[in-house]
Structure 1
């Protein structure tokens, strides 16, 4: 039996895909630009599936939006609104089992399975990308909530005086938006050139450091707000920008600064650890696979 799996990590900008075996060994990885139309998007996925046909036992997806495990549909779609109320299981043509999970929850599952939440009783993954993904682990279990939307931190309102998309955490906490803003300050032709942006951030360039520090403070405030409600031991920072050590370092500094500025927080709330994701930008791939494995185990148990 082939114990290899085709995994997709669908984002608003790119779709990563990989072949990973059951032990978590990454065999092959690639990416493509995300197509922002339903037919074009499904077609791009199908081409990859057809290319690897016969070399995998199952297909797993990590996607933006709320994923209902009752009906298999994606709700909202996040950065892919055309996927609202659509089911990838129904859209994709294949003979192997498919499992779909929300991107933030997939990131948390990857860390729970083989990463930096493996030995943590209560923790969370915060995924910094086009929006902000979140997944919560309580008593070594991923928390879904009553409607599979626990951890949807992108929808937190962070400006009570206005109510628009720009005032949601998914906008103010967007790593893509932060990079775009920094690139504009640097007059870069490519506003998505994260490598050049972080080269200047790591050089402490005064043009971009205020934008970057404000961004990290926003994430620190987000962590504080989550901590006040569910009291976790550890937060893992994921997403593409987490490959840059300065990101988690600066979030930690801003978190400590925030606590010192409001003494009652420091006196009352225990300080959690804030660490890098073990799998960085590949976390969703591993988490999507772990979700597939958990689903298959669940189905086997149900048949007994």
Structure 2
């Protein structure tokens, strides 16, 4: 197929989140033609109907690519849904959408899709060994080894939220990275400490953080230290060249600067860490809200076109 013909092809990419479903028509070069957004339904029937409605409104596309939260068999499209979509249980989303649309379908884990976007057009495009760590309600991860996304034999590689770093906490569910390193919870803690009326006003929270307000700064630096410890643990196993920080708060330059500073402080506190751990390049991921849309499309290319 000629380059011009490829450019004219459009793909439907869908990013399923806990509160909203974003979708876009994207061409073969990764240019977004148009974008849409709807609220995420709260029942299985409504969820599947919404996906089909999105396709009906974009039925001229040549393929459907989907990013979802959960454990995803990217070969078959079967998903073990988690989080706000746990009501979907285990569902063969790839087969379902393929049967309904008569199109090839790719389904990928959301954090993996964010990583694929960086591998394709972002800050991992020339990186052999790296990772994306997404900071949001929980912590997601995607790992690149020898230039390829690491899925694991059971498609569970990169589940960073399940790492135990606080093993002595008497409350079992507070012992994991997912529980202790939630960006959403950090923002709410700062908002409460600074007596903000909206506990989820991240923009206002970072005004206090950037001003080094004592109430905000203590919470923020402790949070960045926990992120840094997570990165040190990853380095001990993977020896990464680059770690990209994703999620909404990654747009704040002070976040990256403080994670770097905390990494060096923790490392300097123990000679073993100085000797055995190399600090990777730590920077913000290139793509924000469009990462999963682009990554799902690149996942499709890797599966069907290579």
Same fold (TM over 0.5): yes
Range with bigger deviation, 19-28 or 199-208: 199-208
- Asked if residue 125 in structure 1 is aligned to residue 132 in structure 2, the reply is yes
- Asked if residue 68 in structure 1 is aligned to residue 76 in structure 2, the reply is no
User: Secondary structure of the equivalent of 2:25?
Assistant: strand
Aligned mate of 1:50, from 52, 56, 75: 56
- Asked if residue 94 in structure 1 is aligned to residue 101 in structure 2, the reply is yes
Unaligned runs of 5+ in 1: 299-304
RMSD of the alignment, in Å? 2.0
Query: 1:123–1:11: structure 2 CA closer, same or farther, 3 Å change rule?
Result: same
* Alpha carbons 1:13, 1:130 under 8 Å: kept: no
Task: Work out the CA distance in 2 between the residues paired with 1:292 and 1:111.
Answer: 15
Deviation at 1:169, TM superposition (A): 1.4
Per-residue CA deviation, residues 220-252 of structure 1 (Å, 9 max, x unaligned), is: 111100110111111011112112222212211
Task: Work out the CA distance in 1 between the residues paired with 2:119 and 2:49.
Answer: 32
Task: Work out the CA distance in 2 between the residues paired with 1:34 and 1:186.
Answer: 31
- Asked if residue 241 in structure 1 is aligned to residue 249 in structure 2, the reply is yes
Deviation at 1:67, TM superposition (A): 0.3
Aligned mate of 1:255, from 256, 263, 268: 263
Range with bigger deviation, 194-203 or 141-150: 194-203
Structure 2 match to 1:15: 21
* Alpha carbons 2:10, 2:28 under 8 Å: kept: yes
Per-residue CA deviation, residues 42-63 of structure 1 (Å, 9 max, x unaligned), is: 3333332222222x22121111
- Asked if residue 40 in structure 1 is aligned to residue 34 in structure 2, the reply is no
Query: 1:29–1:145: structure 2 CA closer, same or farther, 3 Å change rule?
Result: same
Task: Work out the CA distance in 1 between the residues paired with 2:175 and 2:67.
Answer: 26
User: Secondary structure of the equivalent of 1:208?
Assistant: helix
* Alpha carbons 2:78, 2:90 under 8 Å: kept: yes
Runs of 4+ aligned structure 1 residues displaced above 4 Å come to none
Aligned mate of 1:116, from 120, 123, 126: 123
Task: Work out the CA distance in 2 between the residues paired with 1:197 and 1:31.
Answer: 26
- Asked if residue 199 in structure 1 is aligned to residue 207 in structure 2, the reply is yes
Deviation at 1:66, TM superposition (A): 1.0
TM-score, reference length from structure 2: 0.90
Query: 1:136–1:236: structure 2 CA closer, same or farther, 3 Å change rule?
Result: same
- Matched positions, count: 297
Structure 2 match to 1:83: 88
* Alpha carbons 1:124, 1:232 under 8 Å: kept: yes
Deviation at 1:76, TM superposition (A): 4.6
User: Secondary structure of the equivalent of 2:215?
Assistant: coil
- Asked if residue 221 in structure 1 is aligned to residue 229 in structure 2, the reply is yes
Query: 1:32–1:192: structure 2 CA closer, same or farther, 3 Å change rule?
Result: farther
- Asked if residue 180 in structure 1 is aligned to residue 185 in structure 2, the reply is no
TM-score, reference length from structure 1: 0.90
Structure 2 match to 1:27: 33
Deviation at 1:91, TM superposition (A): 4.5
Deviation at 1:274, TM superposition (A): 0.6
Unaligned runs of 5+ in 2: none
Query: 1:250–1:282: structure 2 CA closer, same or farther, 3 Å change rule?
Result: farther
